Amino acid sequence: MTTLTAPVRPAAHRSGHRPPVRIGPIRTISQGFTLAWRSLLKIKHSPEQLLDLTLQPIVFVVLFVYLFGGAIAGDQHVYLQFVLPGILVQTIAFASLGIGTGLSTDLRTGVFDRFRAMPIARSAPLLGAVLGDLFRYVVSVAIVLGFGALIGFRIQNDLLSTLAACGLVLLFAFGLSWPIALLGLLLKNPRTVQGVGASLMFPLTFGSNLLVETSTLPGWLQAWVKINPVTFVVEATRGLLLGQGAIAAPAIKALISIAVLCVVFIPLSLAVYRRRT
């Protein structure tokens, strides 16, 4: 009599479940774009989410130009040309807080637990949330430039430079979204995310040459302004929109800052996301 030994089947196969399938980066990005559509659908069903993106930049432009413009520059139109590129960057920076509060809310409601039951990459929902917010940033850029044009702001450069300025600002928003996303994953209360994020955003934006020239600031503040990534983005945006001042140096520094944000905070955000979900 001959005895045959059957191969032992993995536990996952004996129980009727497939082993986890490894999903490549291309499919992960594709699934991220698919889930980004979810964020757009949320805006479609709740358009009031765009109110802050519409009203806040208009309030900032009116406040700074008509209240402070005469005192700072002596002429409101001259100050409008100087300050509007800075307000564009500031608006994008504050708009990035939405990704943090959104992630914190989704974690509390258990949305990501449902995503785990789907045959998609673990990181696809997080990537989709960040990519979906890019639409909000595009709206912010359009509102600032559109309202600025209505009250007298004039772009002094060609269309290609203007598109490059908008692209740089949107790229900075993408990079800035990741530390804010990490904040939303670490803090459990959306209100806390909003408060802590705003507390970080104020020194980052106002502690730059967004409102005034760097040379007018005290020495200790100039030291911070000169290494602030917002300063690099503002200077490059001004140069691209107005055709004045240096463009290459601040643009390179801005791109390096964006790369550092992505390299540092994307892995951290993914690690915390996997731990939380």
Reported as a single tens digit per residue, the pLDDT across 93-148 is 888 888 888 888 877 777 776 777 777 777 777 888 888 888 888 888 999 999 99
- Both tokens of 67, joined, read 């209240």
pLDDT digits (tens, 9 = 90+) for 73-92: 788 888 999 999 999 999 98
Residue 2 lies in a domain: no
pLDDT digits (tens, 9 = 90+) for 20-55: 556 667 777 777 777 777 777 766 666 666 777 778
pLDDT for 13 equals 43
pLDDT for 153 equals 92
pLDDT for 3 equals 52
Q: Which of 174, 145, 152, 167 is nearest to 86 (CA)?
A: 145
H or E element at residue 180? helix 159-186
Residue 15 lies in a domain: no
pLDDT digits (tens, 9 = 90+) for 139-182: 889 999 999 999 989 999 899 999 999 999 999 999 999 999 99
Residue 11 lies in a domain: no
- Number of domains into which the chain is organized: 1
Residue 16 lies in a domain: no
233 and 227 Cβ atoms separated by less than 8 Å: no
Residue 237 lies in a domain: yes
CB atoms within 10 A of CB 115: 19
Residue 22 lies in a domain: no
Residue 12 lies in a domain: no
How much is the pTM? 0.83
pLDDT for 252 equals 95
53 and 95 Cβ atoms separated by less than 8 Å: yes
Q: Is the pLDDT of residue 215 over 90?
A: no
In whole angstroms, how far apart are CA 68 and each of 85, 118, 208?
16, 53, 17
Range of the domain at 204: 28-276
Q: Is the pLDDT of residue 12 over 60?
A: no
- Both tokens of 142, joined, read 């359009």
Q: Is the pLDDT of residue 242 over 50?
A: yes
Residue 23 lies in a domain: no
pLDDT for 240 equals 94
pLDDT for 115 equals 72
Residue 276 φ/ψ, nearest 5 degrees:
-75, -25
